[in-house]
Amino acid sequence: MSRPFLSGSVADVCFDLVATASEYGDEQGLADAVEQRVRSHGIVPERIGNSIVARTGGPGSAIVLVGHLDTVPNWAGGVAERTDQRIVGRGASDMKGGVAVMLRLLERMIDAPQPVAFIFYDREEGPNSDNGIHRVLADSTVLDPKPKLAVVLEPTAGTIHAGAVGSFNARVVFRGKSAHSARPWEGDNAISLALAEALARFAQREPVPVEVDGLLYHDVVTVTMLNAGIAHNVLPDRVELSVNVRIAPGRSAEAAQAEVVALAGPEAELTWLDTALPAEPRLSDPIVSDFVTRTGLPVFPKQAWTDVATLQEWGVPAFNYGPGEPSQAHQPGEWVEIAMLEECERVLAEELGAP
């Protein structure tokens, strides 16, 4: 007899998750499956859009485990595979491995006294303004009283990643005047305007190391996309750059945005598209420091943005700890080590007092 979907070992559950497509904005099928699996344990979850919130254990403030269901688009020809050592497929590392650990722990914590909440949420891989966690934190009654600690199971290679760098996205536009490419003196090439000074300034802007609580983060400004031109024989009258900014904990949004305005220069039209603030490490919080001490896990800075920032803004201490290599996120051939899935489940089960 075949096993029920999303049951079995943590590797079994991870394979099922990876085999179920759930690209950003198309999470309903996987959310339905997760809800059904939660209900199969006799737990009545909250359904908030395509996010699922559940709770086990007794009354009081819970520890909450957090994982997003969505992935970035799959690579061409990508399918779920299982070897003796790895689960391969889109989302294996980011972050269906973490979600698999959560589903295993939910099953193991059903009869345990420690209150534990679980947030399986949608729409993380897009603009922060559309992130499903915001609706969950605003509308959930399962999360009342407010949790005392949040563990976000993003890929950290089995270490603790404290805090998070902020992430801002800007559209930077340079305008010229269109003309026939045979007579460029009749126009004003917008590409030349952008390349002459602004792109050089962005390219020369080196990452800036920033130490916070003994952890080394980096402020980064990167041009990630460039779009210009309509034909081979037409001078472009418009160039659009996409600029991504990562700021270390403690740096203000205003300072970071002012720097980008200066780098773009007075000729540019600049629009901020999306902002997600950084998160402090909070390693001195007793509940966080106790976890670090008991587990003996190494601690590193999170040189990326995660919903640790959202949860801390909500008022809950949080850190990243999960299976998967961060370098595998969003990559063709993405994988997670089965041994790391098992180790992450073991560590969290021990911390939560799972049978």
Distance CA 149, CA 126 (A): 25
Please identify which of the residues 16, 46, 124, 307 carries the catalytic annotation.
124
Residues 6+ apart with CB under 8 A from 183: none
> Cα dist. 206→242, 254, 349 in Å?
18, 19, 42
Task: Return d(Cα 337, Cα 355) in angstroms, integer.
Answer: 24
- Of 254, 263, 165, 157, nearest to 218 by C-alpha is 165
The active-site residue, picked from 35, 46, 70, 219, is 70
CA distances from 150 to 116, 157, 205 (A): 10, 18, 35
Per the annotation, the verdict on 124 as an active-site residue is: yes
CB 303 within 8 A of CB 285: no
Q: How far apart are CA 345 and CA 68, in angstroms?
A: 17
How many helices (H) does the chain have, and how many strands (E)?
Answer: 10, 16
Number of CB atoms found within 10 A of residue 113's CB:
11
Structure letter (DSSP) for residue 194: I
Contact at 8 Å (CB) between 210 and 218? yes
Q: Which residue has the tokens 């990876």?
A: 18
CB-count burial class (<10 Å; 0-12, 13-18, 19+) for 331: middle
Task: Give the active site residues.
Answer: 70, 124
